[in-house]
Amino acid sequence: MRLGLLPKPQRSASGYRRYPDDAVRRVRFIKRAQELGFTLTEVDTLLHLAGGGPDSCDQTRAMASGKITDLERRIADLQALHDGLTGLTTTCDRPHAERDCPILQRLDPGEVFDQREHLTWVLLPVAPSMGSTHPIEPGRSVRK
């Protein structure tokens, strides 16, 4: 699906596309907005707001605030995943003969995991913002 973020270019006699001088500036705007986490649909809105005067600033700020909230949620999701994996790896410090790998146990959906062997347990949150599915079945937990 094309959003029309760039004006349709003219064609030269030999068939090459000829973009106006402002197209480079527009492409840079688009790429920078994407780097900040905006989708192409949001970039389209930002492009319309860019020429709209002082009221556009309020709308743009609201969009940016929404992105900040989304980023904070994604960071919290990643931190929870980090903490869960860190907790699992700390059990690797036990003597080799006295341990089963809890990481591999957690990755095996058929494996029954004995929670009594571990002290602190939390459910890892599902991280839909990262577009991934959660490797742990509902109701199962991992050591934090």
**114-141 per-position pLDDT tens digit:** 544 443 334 444 444 444 444 444 444 4
Rg (CA), the chain: 24
Helix, strand, coil share of the chain (percent; to 5): 55, 5, 40
115 within domain boundaries: yes
Q: Is residue 36 part of a domain?
A: no
Total domains present in the chain? 1
81 occurs within a structural domain: yes
In a domain, 29, yes or no: no
* Residue 23 within any structural domain of the chain: no
pLDDT reading at 10 higher than 50: yes
Tell me whether residue 19 is in a domain: no
**pTM, whole model, 2 decimals?**
0.57
Whether residue 20 lies inside any domain: the answer is no
Distance CA 125, CA 78 (A): 9
Domain containing 85 equals: 73-144
Rounded alpha-carbon distances, angstroms, from residue 45 to 22, 72, 137 = 18, 22, 39
